[in-house]
Amino acid sequence: MSTNNTEIYNHDDDIEVTHKINTIELENWIKHVTYIEKELNNLIGLCKQQVSETDAKDSILERFVEKKAENEELKMALEKYALSRVNLKECEDMACDMVYISEHESYRLRYLVHLDNYRTVKDDFFSKVQGETEAEK
């Protein structure tokens, strides 16, 4: 099973379809985490400009910097994982395939938890900025 060809054919068995879908999903995760990296850089800049209270600014800024480091770590892990998937074609039995499928599920969970935590920090920032904007009116 080659991970380069993600087109699904009628003759593909369930395992091949699963691997192809997982490959497409992984590519999307990497693109999304790359976008989050850019967004975090922008949010850090906005935080420095928009949040006026020093304590709140430092707290939110620290959380963004922490999320940026976590995002970078996840991106590197996903890219390394993507490279390891080239060995999929070496699988000759269901047990081998299931190792890859289980590993993919663990990366899916890690990605989803990361997204949820990132969104929480981002929502806190926007709530703080909106609160300050409302107070200025």
User: In terms of Cα–Cα distance, which of 50, 1, 41, 51 is closest to 21?
Assistant: 1
Q: Hey, is 92 helix, strand or coil?
A: coil
- 91-116 pLDDT, tens digit per residue, is 888 899 999 999 999 999 999 999 99
> Is the pLDDT reported for residue 65 higher than 90?
yes
pLDDT of residue 1: 41
- Residues 119/112, Cβ–Cβ less than 8 Å: no
Token code pair at residue 137: 């009116």
- Reported as a pLDDT band with limits 50, 70 and 90, residue 3 is very low
Question: pTM value?
Answer: 0.84
| CATH tag, 22-136 | 1.20.120
- Residues 37/68, Cβ–Cβ less than 8 Å: yes
Angle between helices 94-136 and 14-50 (to 10 degrees): 20
User: In terms of Cα–Cα distance, which of 1, 64, 77, 97 is closest to 33?
Assistant: 77
Q: Which of 14-18, 71-75, 96-100, 119-123 shows the lowest per-residue confidence on average (mean pLDDT)?
A: 14-18
